[in-house]
Chains A and B, each alone.
Chain A
Amino acid sequence: KAGVTQTPRYLIKTRGQQVTLSCSPISGHRSVSWYQQTPGQGLQFLFEYFSETQRNKGNFPGRFSGRQFSNSRSEMNVSTLELGDSALYLCASSLGTGGSYNSPLHFGNGTRLTVT
């Protein structure tokens, strides 16, 4: 089975711009969750989608949004980029909802976003 695919791998954007990141889950996985990873803050949960519905949302401003399509692929959008948004953005897919019994997370390689 192919793993979780995130595109693009690297992005450089300017403050104020917006960006869209893509995540293709493992075939058959219906849950996709997104995380922001920075050296100082560890892995911060952004949101989780299951069967096209947002199930949970972390404590991020409304500039961060996402969606999931009928094929379970997910996109994350960040508008009005700020310097502090520079981070590694990881998505993970799981068979059931993330963290639930026998439903471990499978991570992609991430998208490294740099905001200048």
Chain B
Amino acid sequence: GQQVMQIPQYQHVQEGEDFTTYCNSSTTLSNIQWYKQRPGGHPVFLIQLVKSGEVKKQKRLTFQFGEAKKNSSLHITATQTTDVGTYFCYKGGGAQKLVFGQGTRLTINP
């Protein structure tokens, strides 16, 4: 089936360290979206990537879409306690099952 593999499953960092989560698909993606879910909350849309090799930045967050449109990454520079949560990549669109990656749970030691 159409799967999206996300690694790592968990990441614990010291505040101020960087963090990266990776998302890999077995098939070419039309687009990929990233969501963040705070503890006890619901997923919230962060960004969408569409073009091959696309890079987008939101303050300390950098999102990349691979050249082959089969992988994506989210990088956070100098983490802060407000970054705590689980980050999901998500593929969908068209007549495809809507698939989330397994998520990367980020915890931060202040």
Chain B residue numbers with a CB within 8 Å of A62 are none
The segment from B19-27, B66-74, B77-85, B91-99 found at the interface with A is B91-99
Q: Is the CB of B97 within 8 A of A58?
A: yes
Asked if A10 is an interface residue, CB under 8 A from chain B, the answer is no
B97: min CB distance to chain A, Å:
5
Q: Is the CB of B42 within 8 A of A90?
A: yes
Interface residues of A in 38-88 (CB under 8 A from B): 42-43, 45, 48, 55-58
Chain B residue numbers with a CB within 8 Å of A101 are 30-31, 48, 50, 93
Query: For the complex, what is the distance from the CA of A109 to the CA of B98, rounded to whole Å?
Result: 19
Interface size of A in residues (CB-CB distance below 8 Å): 25
Q: Is the CB of B43 within 8 A of A104?
A: no
Q: Is the CB of B94 within 8 A of A100?
A: yes
Do A42 and B42 contact each other (CB < 8 Å), given the known contacts A101-B31, A101-B50? no
Chain B residue at smallest Cβ distance from A43: B100
Q: Is the CB of A105 within 8 A of B35?
A: yes
Query: For the complex, what is the distance from the CA of A108 to the CA of B41, rounded to whole Å?
Result: 9
Asked if A24 is an interface residue, CB under 8 A from chain B, the answer is no
Q: Is the CB of A42 within 8 A of B30?
A: no
Query: For the complex, what is the distance from the CA of A101 to the CA of B54, rounded to whole Å?
Result: 15
Chain A residue at smallest Cβ distance from B46: A104
Q: Is the CB of B97 within 8 A of A43?
A: no
Asked if A106 is an interface residue, CB under 8 A from chain B, the answer is yes
Q: Which of B91, B96, B103 is close to A42, meaning CB atoms less than 8 Å apart? A: B103
Asked if A110 is an interface residue, CB under 8 A from chain B, the answer is yes
Asked if B65 is an interface residue, CB under 8 A from chain A, the answer is no
Asked if A33 is an interface residue, CB under 8 A from chain B, the answer is yes
Query: For the complex, what is the distance from the CA of A90 to the CA of B99, rounded to whole Å?
Result: 14
Chain A residue numbers with a CB within 8 Å of B30 are 100-101
Q: Which of B41, B43, B91 is close to A99, meaning CB atoms less than 8 Å apart? A: B91
| 8 closest Cβ pairs, A-B complex | A99-B92, A104-B45, A107-B42, A100-B93, A43-B100, A99-B93, A42-B102, A45-B98
Question: Chain B residues in contact with chain A, CB under 8 A?
Answer: 30-31, 33, 35, 41-45, 48, 50, 88, 90-103
